Every structure is written in C-alpha cells, then in structure tokens.
A and B are shown apart, each in its own frame.
Chain A
Amino acid sequence: MIPRHQKLLFGILLLASLVMSVTLWQLRERAHKRLIAGQDSAPTRAPEVTPAEQATLLVASDSDSSMRTQIHSLPLPADPGSRARAVLGKLLDLYAAPDAAHPVPGGGSSVLQVFLLPVPESGAGAAAVVKPKSGDFRANQTGAAPREQPQSGPQLAVVNLTGSFADSHPSGIETETLTVLSICGTLHANQPRITQVRFLVDGQTRATLAGHADLTRTYLAGDTVPAEGTQP
C-alpha cells in the first residue's frame, strides 16, 4: 500500500513536469519567432548596378602570335583602380575560357589589386629603353613612385597578380610575352593616363612570370596598342 504523502508528492512532481514542458515549448516557440523576426528586420540594400560600359581588350592569340582589339560591354566601377582591375579580370576570364586562343588558367580572380600611382620622375641613370616599333612593349628602369596622387599626368599601374596565376601560367617566351603585352595594352587602351606598368605576384617582386618574361622591369604601355592583328 502506497502511503498518501507519497501519492501527493508524485502528483506534484508530475504536475511540475508538465508545467515545465509547456513552458519550455513556449520559450522555444518564442525564440524561434524572435529569430525569424530578427532576420526579417536585418537591413538590406539592393546591390548597386552600374551601367554597362564598353571596354577595349587586347586579346592575344597563340596561333599567330598576334593581339587583336576586342570591344566588350561590362559594368565598370567609377574608381580608376577598381575599373582597371575589372577590365583585366574580363581579359583573364577570356584567357581562362575553354576555347581561348591564348589559354591561361586562373580567370578574373587572378588580379588581386591594381594600384595607380603617378609616374616617378626618371633620374639620369633611369634612361628609358624604348623599342621603336609600334605594337611592342617597352621597358625601363625607374625608381619608386612618390606618394601623392596628382589629378592629371601619366600614371604607373602596379598590377598585383596571384601566385597561383603565375605558377599555372604556361611556360614559354612567346606565351608569357603575350600575356604581359596584352595586360599593358589593355590598361592603356582603357585608361590612357596609364603609361607604365609594373607587376607584383602576391604582393612581392617576382623575377619572371613563368621562367621567361621579366617581371622586375617597368613596362612602358604607351605604345602597346597595336593595329588589328599586329604581331608582338
């Protein structure tokens, strides 16, 4: 025979369990509603859609060692550095396509940044070494860039590429030269103030792109826009 006080205690505990279960269920429902309500009230902004603009790309072709001008329409940001990065991203996207005439893996994400600096004044020992033939790139030895950014005048573009892009780039004088040449020419074609181009890989100076083309030089991009089908 169960004593009466034990029956009473059992009933109280059972009732307390039921009450706690109901309370927990209600708290869970309330937390769920609060979470949903919080997500709904999160501030959201519609992405800014810039109007599509025309960009001139100098697209290389390995079959005949040529570079041809192509016009593409793509949204371009207003900031010149971001604009240059977007244009180069489109160029490298073309090279990463399966049917590319100048196949280079990596794509647009291979361009980490493009910094635009005023062209440093060359000293006596920094004579430009210029190749006279149109359509060829030129190189010189110049010093470091000053810090201030003037509103006009020639600019030096510092293109920071990813290490994976350089590591996976096909090795060869011609293919590496075409890549460097097309980057320089594309930058100048879209922003004529860019007259010199330097390259970094993961933020560091690298001797060559993939064993051949010199990446330690400053390339003069002023005359790199070739005529249709001009060979490098």
Chain B
Amino acid sequence: MLGKITDEHTSGNNAPTDSIGFAAETLLPARRRASLFIAYCVALAVSGQLAAAQSAPPVPTAPQARFVVVLDAAHGGDDSGGRLVNNQLEKSFTLALSVRLRSLLTARGIQVVTIRESDVAVEPEKRAEIANHAAAQACLSLHASETGLGIHLFASSLSPIQPTRFAAWKTAQAAWVTRSLALEGVLNSALQHAGMSVTLGRTSLPVVDSMTCPAVAVEIAPEMGPDKKVGAGLDDPDYQARVAAALAAALVEWRSEARQP
C-alpha cells in the first residue's frame, strides 16, 4: 500500500484524497468501479447510522443499575486498633461486623466489596484505592470503641467543593462530602428507628478523606441503656446483630433513594 502511494506521487496524478476513490479510478474497470462505488456508498450510510446512534442520547434503562457498597473493616494485622471489652481487639470486631453486614447486604441483592476478609494489614492508601476503584455508591469505614455510648457516625471534615477531574489524594472526599452527609443522615434515621443512640460528627480520617464515594465512618460503642448508662456491651451478640441489621436497612434505603429519578 505504501508503495502504491509512493507511485502515485511520483507519477504526478491528481487523484482524490480518498484512498478507495483513488484505487477505483486508476486501477479497476468501469463495471468493477460501479460495484465498488455502490459498496462505498453503503458503507458510508452504515457508518453514518452508527455515528448517529453513538451521538444520540442514551435510552433510559431499567432501574437495575449497579449498586455497590464498600465495607472497610478498620485496622488488621499488626494494627490491632483499640482494646475492647473482654480483651477483644477492635480489628476482630470490625472484621466480624464486616462479614455479617456483607451477608445481609448480599442477601438483599447489593453488591459488596470488602477491604479485607481476614486478619491482614491494609495500608490506608490501599483501602482508599480499593474503594475508589469499586466506584461504590456507599463506603462504610467500620470502627469500634469502648469510649462513649451508642453509635458514632462521622463524615469527613473537609469542606464541600465541586468535583474536578483530578482531585488531591488526601482531600479527594471533598467533592463527595455533600453526599456523605446525606448518607450519614440515612444511617442516623435507620439506627434511631432501631432504637439506638446516635452521635453525629465530623472528623479527619486519612482513609475516608481519600475516598471518592459517599463515605461515613461508623464507630460502635456500648449501647446506651434507658438510664443513660451502659446497656449492652460490644460483646453482646444481640447488640451486634441489631447494629448490623440497622446498617443493612439503612443501605437498602440509600439504594432506593439513589434509584429515584
């Protein structure tokens, strides 16, 4: 082909720039040229239809869009986190909660991405990287503490900004803070509906601040009893089950809100 083009230029032929037209006019007989011209027109028409189809607005699809939740069981490996009741480690508690919550969400048809499935250390940057690659609609960072009472929900303390193409790694959550606060509100409603005491706050967690998804840190503390003293402890299986069920219900509600037009 390159040789042909070179011959064309050396012969001084003012052929059309279209390579097919050039080949038809210079090398083929008239009948063959006519059939090729028809095929050329058909190809142009087909390609034009394809281009039109590509530029047309997308056809509305069924509301079965992909809904992904990322569960980040905090700590792991050498980082054991805080020490809870009965010498239980925070890393074990969060992993158990993550596994339980994953089962509940999967049973409800929600796709779940877990940061860790065993007692392994995962760097904060890697956690955020996994969450960001998942393109999730909700990211929960699971923690536990013996300090305070009830459930503590934290959104990032970054101020909301408009999304940009390139976001700084340590402040990537800033473009998602508004959605994170909305997710925090849905979690708060579901947990209070389940009869739990909830504290809302803002904080600066390296993992959450680097996530590009609606992200909330959930810290589970001992349950507040009716006399505002410690009720069920973190080692209470019933309390753990109720917390997981309430979180799952909140994420189902979040999915239904996300699918509303």
Contacts and interface: CB of A to CB of B under 8 A. Distances in A.
Pairing of A with B: yes
Interface of A: 62-65, 125, 127-133, 136-139, 141, 170-175, 177, 207-208, 210-214, 216-217, 219, 231-232
A174 B149 contact: no
Contacts of A172: 82, 143, 145-148, 219, 221
B103 interface: no
A173 B219 contact: yes
Interface stretch (B3-11, B43-51, B200-208): B200-208
A173 B205 contact: yes
Given A138-B157, A139-B157, A141-B170, A173 B206 contact: no
B203 A213 contact: yes
B158 interface: yes
A232 B170 contact: no
A175 B146 CA distance: 10
Given A173-B154, A175-B148, A232-B202, 12 more contacts: A129-B161, A130-B159, A131-B157, A132-B159, A133-B202, A136-B202, A141-B168, A141-B170, A173-B145, A173-B203, A216-B206, A219-B204
Contacts of B148: 62-63, 65, 172, 174-175
A62 B221 CA distance: 11
Nearest to B199: A65
A212 B208 CA distance: 11
Contacts of A141: 168, 170-171
For chain B, the bracket of interface size reads: 35 or more
A172 B219 CA distance: 8
Interface of B: 75, 79, 81-83, 90, 143, 145-149, 152, 154, 157-159, 161, 168, 170-171, 174, 199-206, 209, 217, 219, 221, 228
User: 8 smallest A-B Cβ distances: which pairs?
Assistant: A172-B145, A171-B82, A130-B159, A175-B147, A129-B158, A214-B204, A172-B147, A177-B203
A132 B202 CA distance: 11
Contact of B157 (A136, A174, A208, A216): A136
A184 to B, nearest CB: 11
Contacts of A214: 204-206, 209
A131 B181 CA distance: 12
Contact of A139 (B83, B152, B158): B158
A129 B171 CA distance: 8
A210 B82 CA distance: 8
10 contacts: A63-B148, A125-B168, A129-B157, A137-B157, A137-B202, A139-B158, A171-B82, A172-B143, A174-B148, A214-B206
A170 B159 contact: no
Nearest to B174: A129
Contacts of B145: 170-175
A209 to B, nearest CB: 11
A211 B147 contact: no
Nearest to B155: A131
A211 B147 CA distance: 14
Contacts of B154: 173-174, 177
Contact of A211 (B81, B201, B204): B81
A63 B228 CA distance: 9
Contacts of B200: 231
A128 B171 CA distance: 10
Nearest to B171: A129
B147 A213 contact: no
Nearest to B206: A214
Nearest to A137: B157
Contact of B159 (A129, A173, A232): A129
B253 to A, nearest CB: 24
Contacts of B143: 172-173, 212
A170 B204 contact: no
A219 B204 CA distance: 10
Contacts of A139: 157-158, 204
A65 to B, nearest CB: 5
A174 B158 contact: no
Contacts of A136: 157, 201-202
Contacts of A216: 206
A115 B81 CA distance: 31
Nearest to B203: A177
Q: Which of B159, B171, B209 has the most CB of A within 10 A?
A: B159
Contact of B83 (A137, A171, A213): A171
A140 to B, nearest CB: 9
A174 B202 contact: no
A131 B202 contact: yes
Given A207-B206, A231-B201, A174 B152 contact: yes
